[in-house]
Structure 1
Amino acid sequence: MSAAIRVAQSSQASIKSLISLMNKSCTCPAHSHARAIQREHHQHTKDCGHGKDDDHEYAFEMASSTMRFGEGVTREVGQDLVNMNAKKVLVMTDPNIAKLPVMKTVVDSLKANNVNYVVFDRVRAEPTDRSYEEAIQFTKQHQPDVFVAVGGGSVMDTCKAANLYSNYPNAELLEFVNAPIGKGSVIDKTLSPLIAIPTTAGTGSETTGTAIFDYKPLNVKTGIASRKLRPTLGIVDPLNTLTMPTQVKIASGLDVLCHALESYTALPYQERTPRPKNPAERPAYQGSNPISDVWSLEALKLTVKYLKRSADDPLDLEANAEMCLAAAAAGTGFGSAGVHLCHGMSYPISGLNKGYKHPEYNVDHNIIPHGISVAVTAPAVFRYTGEACPDRHFKAAEIFGADLSKVRKGESAGPLLADQLTKFLQGLGIPDGISALGYTKDDIPALVKGTLPQHRVTKLAPLSTGAEALEKIFADSMKNY
């Protein structure tokens, strides 16, 4: 039996179980799963200690891209494009992926279905404003009506940006970039169809409406976030992840890990302010909610169980397939709930890189992979946020293997989760804190300065976090082991 079939059967069983729980005729609090989730979420609100007023949010939206999962499903993309009546397709990838079997599969499928296409294969790993501009100019030159992104998060995000600005040909790059770095203008057009074919199990970008890049003038990461950016279809084929180098696999998986943890512990949606005056202005990242919780917890469980297995054995088909599902599940969860401090602090860690180049990344520039930059602060972040919603931190710690029956009365949830995270990260052999990436305590003011503008994510932390708190978290992140 193939890994895909085993995973599909497992997923079907989980879905049937969830539907059964949600549809039980009894609506009393003791038996209703939906009400149990709602009750726990209200406790999360209470635990976080936020008050109520007329400006608070009262609704959340759940939306995601259509996802197709299965071993070998990449070969269907040509027929998908025919079904879309595509006239000219732009296939976007990077120089490394361009040489791998997945691109041959995609091109063969397009040729077999007589699809007119052009390839852009110069996407930069960890894209910048300049690399975005290059892809956008290529797109404007060729004027495609459908896009296909083949690669990891960098490729998918670059393709989203190219799609956006080809539909707004007169807009400057900062027009839609998140405030305060950009103007944060609302995307009010329906963009061209985009099919995303991930080759990593990490960003979940095949399900989300975000596009992240390094903005070099300020040396920080920022991005664009809108539901309009979501791919039309995500084709998730576990076979495409088998060629990932071990370090790429680990870094990608750590992004999944932090997506799950941050979205599960994010500020509850009904505590976010201000409430939008127009539903179209409701942000893509809305705060944790009962539906995002389901996806985030499932992604966390899968990542804890399968990430090390997939890293230890590149040909472990089951582990690779489960990590693909984990990435998509986490993308669905954080695509609604959002992320918070690990991601907000990761942006200056990557953007201010002083000369670090992570092993096994075949690129011609220094690079701190996104998954590494989010993970190195995770123990300190969750040590800090534990007091805000301890039940959620205890639950996450239990998924890592903590025995809650041995927790002493009054013991803090934050340190317990931080200890479990530290063991997990050490077991994967990732760099020991931000000092291993070249930073010293003298760099903390610059790192804090680079984090403060990341309002889109930092304001979703369950605790209000200013410069003083960020300084302490960065200091605590110098070494983890």
Structure 2
Amino acid sequence: MCFSAAATCTVRKTDYAFEVTNQTVNIKFSVLQDLQNLGAQNVCLMTDKNLSRLAPVKAVLDSLSKTGVRYKVYDNVRVEPTDTSFKEAILFAKNGSFDVFVAVGGGSVIDTCKAANLYASHPDADFLDFVNAPIGKGKPITRALKPLIAVPTTAGTGSETTGVAIFDFEPLKAKTGIASRAIRPTLGIVDPVHTLSMPERVAANSGFDVLCHALESYTALPYNQRTPCPHDPIARPAYQGSNPISDVWSRHALHMVAKYMKRAVRDPEDLEARSSMHLASVFAGIGFGNAGVHLCHGMSYPISGNVKTHSAKGYSVEHPLVPHGLSVVLTSPAVFSFTAPMCPERHLEAAEILGADMRQVKRQDAGAVLADTLRHFLFDLQVEDGLGAVGYSKDDIPALVKGTIPQERVTRLCPREHTEDDLSQLFEASMKIY
């Protein structure tokens, strides 16, 4: 659906419409019927080494076996994927002649599978052809991809609902990605039982991604203030700016995070809380998948990409890691204090949803109130005390700013214009948050 609010782009510089794309998300356990409905003959199942031994993958393998269809498993997905790990998965997909892809895992697995499907369908494409500009060429995707079924095992990225695949671009030590509705999964199978195996810190960091997806998309630059106005609807970006429909999803996700996230982190057996956070991830994914995110995510990419020695608790990886959700949320108090003057009512509403006492709060207090509310939320969930606690110092700020600058796909949706000096101050303010 396309919603038009004004005249076409022959007479205006900002966009005049926003698009809402439909997404099928099922809540069920088995992919058996879906594979049969797709007429699958040769399936590629992608996961990671840890998940390959756990119940979610075993359940999907049981379904595959019952169909009698051929399949191959790629279990070498890297947690926080890189351009190198994407290329390894792409090569596997190109050599397999698969007609259906199934991704079982968190955002790293689903994003890797999206990229593998994309480049297997475009075997002659250069890797940078579809990567977001200015790092890549950002070419539009015009060829049909194979069906992709996403089975999320974390409650955070919402990747089962979006046309985005994120990776660390190693030459720049910063994250970038591919953004196109064409790579969005055909089907998302959301089963909260799959999330019960998440360790406490994985549940927390995944939940912080949901929190920031909701907050950033709700406070993003409105769609009718985004420039440039596309010359053709096909040129309209996947991230369009906040709009009346994305607002519904983002606001509801924020309510669910406020009610259930602490329970879901503290008690892995709390099925109601884990189920609700799984749904919140989907809702926030639909919200930001149409509206976009802004500074927390834009600044998070170099935080993850420049990691030195930090070893994240609860993750079975051998490389240094600042998990995505953690890298996003560490800057949130500073970011929302900075953006509040542009839409104070939305920042105040978010603070109230998250539990702030709004009596005697003034409009001009919006940034401080939301920032303090976030600090309390993070402190209650035992989050590291800022960037300094994950290995960064003020000496690293120039590199972090440099890694943020290419993230214009998301940073341009910040409701407040910002300079490199502003980014430096936000990173400095985020070195310690309590």
- TM beyond 0.5: yes
2:12 equivalent among 49, 54, 58: 54
2:389 equivalent among 432, 436, 446: 436
| 1:87-166 pair list within 5 angstroms | 87-166=41-120
In structure 2, what residue type is equivalent to 1:154?
Answer: S
Q: 1:467, 1:278 → 2: CA distance?
A: 32
Kept in 2: contact 1:64–1:230 (CA 8 A):
no
What secondary structure is seen at the aligned counterpart in 1 of 2:95?
Answer: helix
Kept in 1: contact 2:344–2:363 (CA 8 A):
no
Greater than 4 Å deviation, 4+ residue runs: none
2:407 match: 454
Q: 2:214, 2:22 → 1: CA distance?
A: 16
How far residue 56 of structure 1 moved from its aligned partner, in angstroms, is 0.6
2:230 match: 276
In structure 2, what residue type is equivalent to 1:65?
Answer: Q
| Cα distance per residue 1:132-169 (max 9 Å; x no partner) | 00000000111101100000000000000000000110
User: Does 1:326 pair with 2:280?
Assistant: yes
1:181 match: 135
What secondary structure is seen at the aligned counterpart in 2 of 1:118?
Answer: strand
Q: 1:116, 1:374 → 2: CA distance?
A: 39
In structure 1, what residue type is equivalent to 2:21?
Answer: A
Q: 2:356, 2:311 → 1: CA distance?
A: 34
What secondary structure is seen at the aligned counterpart in 1 of 2:166?
Answer: strand
| 1:18-33 pair list within 5 angstroms | none
Kept in 2: contact 1:64–1:332 (CA 8 A):
no
Q: 2:235, 2:347 → 1: CA distance?
A: 31
| Cα distance per residue 1:325-377 (max 9 Å; x no partner) | 00000000000000000000000000011111111110111110000000000
Kept in 2: contact 1:74–1:197 (CA 8 A):
no
Kept in 2: contact 1:64–1:335 (CA 8 A):
no
In structure 2, what residue type is equivalent to 1:66?
Answer: T
User: Does 1:205 pair with 2:163?
Assistant: no
| Cα distance per residue 1:253-283 (max 9 Å; x no partner) | 0000000000000000000000111111110
What secondary structure is seen at the aligned counterpart in 2 of 1:386?
Answer: helix
1:83 match: 37
| 1:353-372 pair list within 5 angstroms | 353-372=307-326
User: Does 1:463 pair with 2:409?
Assistant: no
Q: 1:410, 1:112 → 2: CA distance?
A: 59
**Structure 1 unaligned regions, length at least 5:** 1-37, 43-52
Q: 1:295, 1:427 → 2: CA distance?
A: 25
1:47 match: none
What secondary structure is seen at the aligned counterpart in 2 of 1:439?
Answer: coil
Q: 2:411, 2:333 → 1: CA distance?
A: 17
Q: 1:446, 1:282 → 2: CA distance?
A: 31
Count matched residues. 427
Kept in 2: contact 1:65–1:206 (CA 8 A):
no
User: Does 1:479 pair with 2:432?
Assistant: yes
1:225 equivalent among 172, 179, 190: 179
How far residue 403 of structure 1 moved from its aligned partner, in angstroms, is 2.1
Q: 1:261, 1:124 → 2: CA distance?
A: 28
Q: 1:253, 1:271 → 2: CA distance?
A: 30
> TM-score when scaled to structure 2?
0.97
How far residue 121 of structure 1 moved from its aligned partner, in angstroms, is 0.6
Q: 1:462, 1:138 → 2: CA distance?
A: 41
1:426 equivalent among 372, 375, 379: 379
Bigger Rg, which one: 1
Q: 1:189, 1:157 → 2: CA distance?
A: 19
What secondary structure is seen at the aligned counterpart in 2 of 1:188?
Answer: coil
Kept in 2: contact 1:153–1:198 (CA 8 A):
yes
1:304 match: 258
Kept in 1: contact 2:47–2:109 (CA 8 A):
yes
Q: 1:370, 1:64 → 2: CA distance?
A: 26
What secondary structure is seen at the aligned counterpart in 1 of 2:249?
Answer: helix
Task: Sort the Cα spacing of 1:442 and 1:64 in 2 relative to 1 into closer, same or farther, 3 A.
Answer: farther
What secondary structure is seen at the aligned counterpart in 1 of 2:165?
Answer: strand
How far residue 410 of structure 1 moved from its aligned partner, in angstroms, is 5.2
RMSD of aligned alpha carbons:
1.3
What secondary structure is seen at the aligned counterpart in 1 of 2:384?
Answer: coil
1:67 match: 25
In structure 2, what residue type is equivalent to 1:450?
Answer: G
Kept in 1: contact 2:258–2:355 (CA 8 A):
no
In structure 1, what residue type is equivalent to 2:374?
Answer: L
Kept in 1: contact 2:303–2:400 (CA 8 A):
yes
Q: 1:464, 1:157 → 2: CA distance?
A: 30
Identical columns (%): 59
How far residue 172 of structure 1 moved from its aligned partner, in angstroms, is 1.4
Q: 2:83, 2:174 → 1: CA distance?
A: 11
What secondary structure is seen at the aligned counterpart in 2 of 1:117?
Answer: strand
Task: Sort the Cα spacing of 1:410 and 1:274 in 2 relative to 1 into closer, same or farther, 3 A.
Answer: closer
In structure 1, what residue type is equivalent to 2:188?
Answer: G
How far residue 64 of structure 1 moved from its aligned partner, in angstroms, is 4.1
Kept in 1: contact 2:82–2:168 (CA 8 A):
yes
| Cα distance per residue 1:394-441 (max 9 Å; x no partner) | 00000011122221x454201100000000001110111101111111
| 1:185-196 pair list within 5 angstroms | 185-196=139-150
Kept in 2: contact 1:78–1:115 (CA 8 A):
no
What secondary structure is seen at the aligned counterpart in 2 of 1:328?
Answer: helix
Q: 2:22, 2:432 → 1: CA distance?
A: 37
Moved more, 114-123 or 371-380: 114-123
**Structure 2 unaligned regions, length at least 5:** none
Q: 1:274, 1:230 → 2: CA distance?
A: 24
Kept in 1: contact 2:341–2:364 (CA 8 A):
no
Kept in 2: contact 1:64–1:207 (CA 8 A):
no
In structure 2, what residue type is equivalent to 1:123?
Answer: V
2:341 match: 387
What secondary structure is seen at the aligned counterpart in 2 of 1:74?
Answer: coil
